[in-house]
Amino acid sequence: MTPPARGSLVACRDLFQIYRLAGHEVVALQGVDLDIARGELLALLGPSGAGKSTLLALVGGLERPAAGRVWVDGQDLARLPEAALTAFRRGRVGFVLQTPARNLLPYASAVQNLELPMRLAGVPAARRRERARALLAATGLQASGGRSVRALSGGEQQRLAVAVAVANEPPLLLADEPTSQLDRGNAARVLELLRVLRDQTGTTVVMVTHDPEAAEAMDRTVSIRGGRVGAEGRGGVEYAVVGPTGLLQLPAHALEVLPPGARALVEVGDGPVLLHPVEPPDEASR
Ligand SMILES: Nc1ncnc2c1ncn2[C@@H]1O[C@H](COP(=O)(O)OP(=O)(O)OP(=O)(O)O)[C@@H](O)[C@H]1O
Ligand SMILES: [Mg+2]
């Protein structure tokens, strides 16, 4: 198994996750290999049910993998004892969950929401207040500290949710579709906030999104399809990724010529690698 690449904060190796539902199993991840560099802004893309949230749950230590390894910040999460995993979740990673209502206490004020994770981490009161003030300023909510969450707009709530997630200054922020319910202006403000956090504190950000524009605002995009890494994009160019067992997922436009089950001759030369579609062998000639 290849060890984490130098400089990576997150390393997943042949990661599997299986959910058991009354009588049947769902293989949500089937062999994910992924390295995320310290300070990287990464977008996770992929169709519904592809395994994006599952991958975040494993990287954030909310769940343990069925098989494979996941290292975060030097810790081997699959093998971490329960108490250490809880400490990891509280101090080393921040979450913005896919369901917005689960990120904030609706009847508490913005400041109370910000202070809660710091209380759980044992941060002294004076330091909590100071940090809450700084976070409100960073998110443009300085005038709203005393207001209850219910009185904030959707965009303000999402910015507050990001601020709560980074209250304990974790090296890693995992945000599951933080802009999906926002209009363009508010979505842009949340994306800007993620970038500022990275630039100012070096926070590594992994963001799930369906929005190609939001993805483009990140350094790199990784597409998940069928529980595997399908493609990777940098600077607007999309690359296919060879998976752990040599498996290669073709981009959608190639699937039109080479649909699942098709056969191809692979020609490797000095330059491009060519795939030549061939007819399957005739049943009669076998
Ligand atoms: N707790 C669970 N119990 C059973 N099945 C689950 C559970 N969580 C996820 N799944 C299944 O695992 C697969 C991957 O789900 P996941 O939530 O990771 O997808 P996703 O890429 O985040 O999708 P979406 O874009 O809709 O949020 C799906 O088939 C889903 O139904
Ligand atoms: Mg999801």
Residue 197 lies in a domain: yes
Q: Are residues 262 and 185 in the same domain?
A: no
Residue 72 lies in a domain: yes
Q: Are residues 113 and 171 in the same domain?
A: yes
Residue 231 has pLDDT above 60, yes or no: yes
Contact criterion met (CB below 8 Å) for 167 and 139: no
Q: Could you say which ligand is closest to the alpha carbon of residue 50?
A: 1
- Per DSSP, the residues of 34-46 read EEEETT-EEEEE-
CATH number for the domain harbouring residue 110: 3.40.50.300
List CB contacts of 174: < 8 A, sequence separation 6 or more.
56, 59, 60, 93, 94, 95, 96, 165, 206
Residue 277 lies in a domain: yes
CA distance 280 to 262: 7
Q: Are residues 218 and 87 in the same domain?
A: yes
- Identity of the amino acid at 106: P
Q: Which atom of ligand 1 is nearest to the CA of 47?
A: 25
Task: Name the residue with higher pLDDT: 117 or 254.
Answer: 117
Q: Are residues 211 and 281 in the same domain?
A: no
Q: Global pTM?
A: 0.91
Residue 16 lies in a domain: yes
State in Å, rounded, how far the first CA of the chain is from the last one.
Answer: 39
Q: Which of 75, 47, 80 is nearest to 63 (CA)?
A: 80
pLDDT at 4: 80
Q: Indicate whether residue 146 lines ligand 1 (CB < 6 A).
A: no
Residue 2 lies in a domain: no
Q: Which of 86, 59, 19 is nearest to 207 (CA)?
A: 59
| Number of domains composing the chain | 2
Mean pLDDT of 26-37: 95
Q: By residue range, what is the domain housing residue 188?
A: 8-245
Instruction: Return the best residue to mutate from 19, 45, 98 for the ligand 1 pocket (most ligand atoms within 8 A of CB).
Output: 19
- Identity of the amino acid at 206: V
pLDDT at 286: 54
Q: Are residues 53 and 134 in the same domain?
A: yes
Q: Indicate whether residue 28 lines ligand 1 (CB < 6 A).
A: yes
Q: Are residues 119 and 152 in the same domain?
A: yes
- Per DSSP, the residues of 93-120 read EEEE-SSGGGTS-TTSBHHHHHHHHHHH
Residue 154 lies in a domain: yes
Residue 1 has pLDDT above 80, yes or no: no
Instruction: Return the best residue to mutate from 21, 53, 95 for the ligand 1 pocket (most ligand atoms within 8 A of CB).
Output: 53
Q: Are residues 69 and 178 in the same domain?
A: yes
Query: How, if at all, do strands 172-176 and 24-37 pair?
Result: unpaired
List CB contacts of 55: < 8 A, sequence separation 6 or more.
12, 15, 29, 32, 34, 44, 224
The residues facing 229 across adjacent strands are 224
Q: Are residues 274 and 137 in the same domain?
A: no
Q: Are residues 120 and 232 in the same domain?
A: yes
Average pLDDT, the chain: 91
pLDDT, tens digit (0-9, with 9 covering 90-100), for 147-196: 999 999 999 999 999 999 999 999 999 999 999 888 898 899 899 999 99
Q: Are residues 98 and 221 in the same domain?
A: yes
Q: What percentage of the chain has pLDDT greater than the value 90?
A: 68
Residue 18 lies in a domain: yes
Q: Are residues 138 and 179 in the same domain?
A: yes
Q: Are residues 155 and 40 in the same domain?
A: yes
Question: Is residue 5 very low, low, confident or very high in pLDDT (cuts 50, 70, 90)?
Answer: confident
pLDDT, tens digit (0-9, with 9 covering 90-100), for 45-55: 999 999 999 99
Instruction: Return the best residue to mutate from 17, 52, 179, 210 for the ligand 1 pocket (most ligand atoms within 8 A of CB).
Output: 52
Residue 255 has pLDDT above 90, yes or no: no
Residue 160 lies in a domain: yes
Q: Which atom of ligand 1 is nearest to the CA of 227?
A: 14
Q: Indicate whether residue 200 lines ligand 1 (CB < 6 A).
A: no
Three-state SS at 199:
helix
